[in-house]
Structure 1
Amino acid sequence: MISPEKREVQHWLDSLRGTEDPEPERPGGNRPWLPKNRTGASVAVTVLVVMAGFWIWAFSPLAPSGHPDALYDVAFTEDAEDVCAATVAAADRLPGAAEATGPEDRARQIHTSTPLFEEMVAELRAEASQVVGADADLLNAWLADWDTYLGDRRAYAEILAGGSDPPFTVTARDGDAVTSYIDIFAEVNAMPSCATPEDV
């Protein structure tokens, strides 16, 4: 005598082959989780394939990182990191704050280094002009924050040139310093050299 479980499996296999179940089903012996025809089997297989495909995609580099500042255009981020790294290296070769003899000398240092970062932002903006869609909107906002930060540097240099020596402060946006937005964006998109410099 064939057990009810084996009969159900045999029935399912026979249905896939298009043959009849060799033995009649016993009342109450059906297993609802076994497809009873080819259509049901096809649906089950399709569902499994879709689920497997989703998880493969979710753990692949093609899936979004989930951070709202993440860019899809990896080519831009790689080029931007190269541009920023070269600028930071050039700025590092200039005299630092520790070498300044007073506020006026410090002002001259900032006046010398700030144009390097202005050129960097101009080059990044030229690169960003080739980016489209949501990435373009993110980049425009980020570069606007850079413009604000550079304006703060120039304003601070003017204060130092007048003989005062207050702490350097930056403009706030939505309650946070613009430098925090610049730095988070750079970190999320693997552009560490594009964070705000620490030379002021």
Structure 2
Amino acid sequence: MSLPVGRPPYPDGRAAPSRRGGPVWWATAGILVAVAVVVVVPIGFVWTHTTHDHDQEIESSPIREVTESACATMSATVAAKAAPPGAPVEAQARAIREQDAAVTVMVARVRELDRDLRADDRPTNAWLADWETLVEARERHAADLAAGRRPHFVIPTADGKPITGRMNSVGLSCTVPPQLVDLR
């Protein structure tokens, strides 16, 4: 005995509906896939970005608290220690070094935090290294001024871009004060 080809009929002779493959089935499947994409993808995106360390942002609360407090103190000191326009070269070099001392204190305060805590929040140590690089470049500028040379200050770069861009974009309320990079 052979099985009938196609769909077996209902007792009244009508053909049984297709379970898959008809236009209604495909339309329903398409709508369900579209809804899943519209709902699931954003939820996955939000979950990923709220539960994982962002490589470019300092997120640890203890680090943020110490850093932002130390940065506020540093910024106020840098502004207060700025050499007035037209100041003698010796005063300019002294102002640069006093400002650099304020940055060094800020970096030291953050480095006092637990090493593992800093390592777990990826950009923290790189951000601190950028501040140290800026201080080193400013110190060379101050030394050239004190030696009677006429230096031209250039902000250090990484990957062809000024490090200050990276320093200002770690998600902190701490930006490089303009007095640190506007050296004439």
Pairing 1:149–2:134 present: yes
Q: Contact (CA 8 Å) 2:60, 2:121: kept in 1 or not?
A: yes
Which residue of structure 2 lines up, in the alignment, with residue 38 of structure 1? none
- Summarize the alignment of residues 149-168 of structure 1 with structure 2, pairs less than 5 Å apart: 149-168=134-153
How far has the Cα of 1:31 moved from its partner?
A: 4.7
Give the counterpart of 1:76 among 55, 58, 63.
Answer: 63
- Summarize the alignment of residues 1-200 of structure 1 with structure 2, pairs less than 5 Å apart: 27-32=15-20, 33=25, 52=39, 55-56=42-43, 58-59=45-46, 62=50, 68-94=55-81, 96-127=82-113, 129-131=115-117, 135-136=121-122, 138-183=123-168, 187=169, 189-193=170-174, 195-199=175-179, 200=183
Cα deviation code 1:55-114 (max 9, x no counterpart): 33534671559x6413442442343222211211122222x2334522221001112221
User: What secondary structure is seen at the aligned counterpart in 2 of 1:127?
Assistant: coil
Q: Contact (CA 8 Å) 2:118, 2:125: kept in 1 or not?
A: no
User: What secondary structure is seen at the aligned counterpart in 2 of 1:160?
Assistant: helix
TM-score (norm 1): 0.61
Of residues 146-155 and 127-136 in structure 1, the stretch that sits farther from structure 2 once superposed is 127-136
TM-score (norm 2): 0.66
User: What secondary structure is seen at the aligned counterpart in 1 of 2:50?
Assistant: coil
Question: Is there any run of 5+ residues in structure 1 with no aligned partner, and where?
Answer: 1-22, 35-43
Q: Aligned partners of 1:79 and 1:51: how far apart in 2?
A: 40
Q: Aligned partners of 1:154 and 1:24: how far apart in 2?
A: 97
Q: Contact (CA 8 Å) 1:78, 1:191: kept in 2 or not?
A: no
- Bigger relative contact order, structure 1 or 2 (CA pairs below 8 A, ≥6 apart): 2
Query: How large is the RMSD of aligned CA atoms in angstroms?
Result: 3.5
Which residue of structure 2 lines up, in the alignment, with residue 5 of structure 1? none
Query: Percent identity over the alignment?
Result: 26
Q: Aligned partners of 2:121 and 2:132: how far apart in 1?
A: 18
Q: How many residues align?
A: 158
Q: Contact (CA 8 Å) 1:170, 1:178: kept in 2 or not?
A: yes
Q: Contact (CA 8 Å) 2:96, 2:142: kept in 1 or not?
A: yes
Question: Is there any run of 5+ residues in structure 2 with no aligned partner, and where?
Answer: 1-10, 27-31
